[in-house]
Amino acid sequence: MARAPNILFGLQLPSRPPFDTWAPTSVSRVGAFVLSFRRKLCMPRCVVARRLHFNAAHRLHNPARSDQWNQETFGPCNNPNYHGHNYELDILVEGEIDPETGYVVDVAILKRLAESTIVAHLDHKNLNLDVPWFKDRLPSAENIAVFCWEQLAPRIPHGRLTRIRLWETPRNYVDYEGR
């Protein structure tokens, strides 16, 4: 049986002997090096998630607008006596799996970072009165998510923060991806 010519996209490719005459019987040193190098460059990637909880009170009120506008826009969230939420915060970090630990990032370290940089500043606080970051910003779920990102993203030791998901209620959440 005649072999088909080695042609690809109209170009003649160099011919090579049939597989069984050139295939090595064991992995060569060069092959092992290439495989090792490829594994180092192309480690599998994962997204690691950690969920935290905090409670906080806030009031959505834009002082540049009228009381009527604020009431119509924010409804019960404009209560002059504030209102509270039991927030759930999902932190997602993406990166290559470290071959020595099997981790993208140690979730215990991620938990400690989040508790010291986010929860310690927001838990059982009135966001309007107790958190300086909200002095000139409305403490909406969107802005709280941005605050969480800004506190945590520069401190992630391995991988990169890819998403903050802040659950304000069991049915309402905000995603922020740093943009």
Q: Which residues are catalytic?
A: 77, 124, 168
- Interatomic CA distance for residues 73 and 15, integer angstroms: 74
- Interatomic CA distance for residues 136 and 143, integer angstroms: 11
Q: Are 121 and 113 in contact (CB under 8 A)?
A: no
**Beta-sheet strand order (sheet of 125-126):** 125-126, 45-58, 83-96, 160-169, 172-176
Q: Are 137 and 61 in contact (CB under 8 A)?
A: no
Query: DSSP per residue over 135-157, as a string?
Result: TTS---HHHHHHHHHHHHGGG-S
Three-class SS state of 2 = coil
- Interatomic CA distance for residues 90 and 54, integer angstroms: 12
> CA-CA distances (angstroms) from residue 26 to 22, 29, 30, 37, 100?
12, 9, 11, 18, 27
